[in-house]
Amino acid sequence: MARAPRAAADEGVPAEPDLLDNAPPPREATALFGHREAAARLASAFADAPPQAILLEGPRGIGKATFAFRLAKALLGQLPGSALPPDFASEPDGRAARQVSAGTHPGVLHLTRPWDERAKRFKGELTVDVVRRIVPFLGSTAADGGWRVVIVDAMDDANLNAANALLKSLEEPPRRTLFILVSHVAGRVLATIRSRCRVIRLRPLGHDDMVAALNHLGVDPALAEAGEGAPRRALMLAEAGADMVRTARRLLRPSEMRDVRHHHTLAELAAQRRDDQFATVLDLVLEAMAARVREGADRLPLPALNAYAEAYLAATSERRRIEVFNLDRKEMVLALCARLAEADRAAQRVG
């Protein structure tokens, strides 16, 4: 499978960004939970008129990239003239599927944020030099005259130059070419790109699928509710440790947010941990903000709810800036805690 050049894995470079210790990369995942209706709709669409580009939208961590690779495996394993089966999201078998899982299939180009050798970390953006690899990939002859699949994971990471370069490739793709674009945030993809895609919205997993997914990953199924339909979120909470999660949730209560010392404790928790566990602390802050909006929807006036909504939007915006520019995480958490505490004070004044 064609991938961005990087240092060899035996030099300690992860295969791709955002991998968790206890979960395989999406191309290697042996199970996909949920999304059966979306798979059936997509199979029906291929029977009528195969799309040239698909935009998979949905919250982070619900299996969008795994879904993309399942579709790639199914297409590349098709016999000539055969239809895409409605259950293609079940584990495919065959030589093509095994090659995709191993990262060796010549008909798949997987684009992600590139590795920065100087900084020893993945860059915060999917850059134009990565997207430009599409041109020679599509210029090559497809294996056995079959499909070529470009997976962009994720479009949210693409900077403007990268997005514009992708748009040019989307305008006139060769026959039997499929672009699969993954997006975690609705509305972040350029309208000109979105208009060229069949949009497939994947939803958070239901309770039974969450429990099955967590059992498969070896994670306590008691975390199903906390995962809010996203196995990745539950896995991150498990890796962060129950003690840290309990501490953070306690400090994020309105009564605790009044004490600035607790802001600093949360900031230290975020600053001293790895990338995925910093994300967990930030997710807990966002969770607290969203919970306040839900709980206050029926009793708080609009200005108080707006204060929480603005704090939430600021948090999501700052998260993006942190990822792109590698800014000070401790300062970010302190600023978000201050905004949350101010929103709490506003709600208390009018509540």
pLDDT score at 209? 97
Residues of the chain predicted below pLDDT 70:
1-12, 143-145, 272-277, 323-325, 351
Name the β-bridge partners of 158.
126
For CA atoms 23, 236, 37, 112, give the dihedral sign: negative
Sorted by sequence, the CB contacts under 8 Å of residue 50 that are 6+ apart come out as 178
Q: How far apart are CA 152 and CA 108, in angstroms?
A: 11
Name the β-bridge partners of 149.
108, 178
CATH code of domain 2-201 = 3.40.50.300
Which among 181, 176, 120, 174 has a CA at the least distance from the CA of 150? Answer: 181
Q: How far apart are CA 59 and CA 74, in angstroms?
A: 24
pLDDT score at 9? 45
Q: For residue 328, which amino acid is it?
A: D
The pLDDT tens digits for 201-212 are 999 999 999 999
pLDDT score at 1? 63
Which among 68, 101, 74 has a CA at the least distance from the CA of 1? Answer: 101
* Residue at token pair 């000109």: 192
pLDDT score at 6? 42
The pLDDT tens digits for 253-298 are 999 999 999 999 998 888 765 666 688 888 888 888 888 888 888 8
Is residue 112 exposed (0-12), middle (13-18) or buried (19+ Cβ within 10 Å)? buried
Q: Which two tokens stand for residue 49?
A: 């008129």
Q: What are phi and psi of 179, to 5 degrees?
A: -95, 130
Q: How far apart are CA 248 and CA 269, in angstroms?
A: 8
Q: Are 178 and 75 in contact (CB under 8 A)?
A: yes
pLDDT score at 246? 84
Q: Which two tokens stand for residue 282?
A: 């930030």
Q: How far apart are CA 101 and CA 112, in angstroms?
A: 16
Q: Are 11 and 209 in contact (CB under 8 A)?
A: no
